[in-house]
Amino acid sequence: MPATGKVSLIRQTIYCFIPILDLYAAYHIKKLRWYLLILISSGIILGTITSFVVPQEYEYDLDRLMSVDGQLNWQYAILGENPETAIASIVVNQGITLAIAVYVIRRWSNHWNLQFD
């Protein structure tokens, strides 16, 4: 349920780092729709930029995709030819998304608290 008074900036910031609780933090200050819109659009933008900067090969080498005993090589299937680059881009994307989430939740929580002064 939405807050009826001031909210704690520290608690709201901590909620940003925990999955699902970030949605609760946005809902708590009545900004869930905007929060989802901003995070989804930033994810699309970051994904597009990443696909241009670090292009993935979609043609897999079947010899590398399957191991000797017939098992699927998941690391190669998910990360592709360059796992270091793929992991680095995932970490950078998550860092940027988290920074955006913390920024907007703190800003909106600040504005929410100013209503009650």
Domain membership of residue 56 (yes or no) is yes
Which DSSP state fits 115? T
Q: What is the 3-class SS of 37-101, one letter each residue?
A: HHHHHHHHHHHHHHHHHCCCCCCCCHHHHECCCCCECHHHHHHCCCHHHHHHHHHHHHHHHHHHH
Domain membership of residue 101 (yes or no) is yes
Range of the domain at 44: 9-114
Domain membership of residue 4 (yes or no) is no
66 torsion bin: left (phi>0), alpha (psi -120 to 50), beta (else): beta
User: What pLDDT is recorded for position 77?
Assistant: 66
Domain membership of residue 3 (yes or no) is no
- Residue 49: both structure tokens together: 């930029």
Domain membership of residue 1 (yes or no) is no
Domain membership of residue 61 (yes or no) is yes
User: What pLDDT is recorded for position 57?
Assistant: 63
Structural domains in the chain (count):
1
Domain membership of residue 96 (yes or no) is yes
Query: pLDDT under 50 in the chain at which residues?
Result: none
Domain membership of residue 53 (yes or no) is yes
Q: What is the 3-class SS of 4-38, one letter each residue?
A: CCCCCHHHHHHHHCCCCHHHHHHHHCCCHHHHHHH
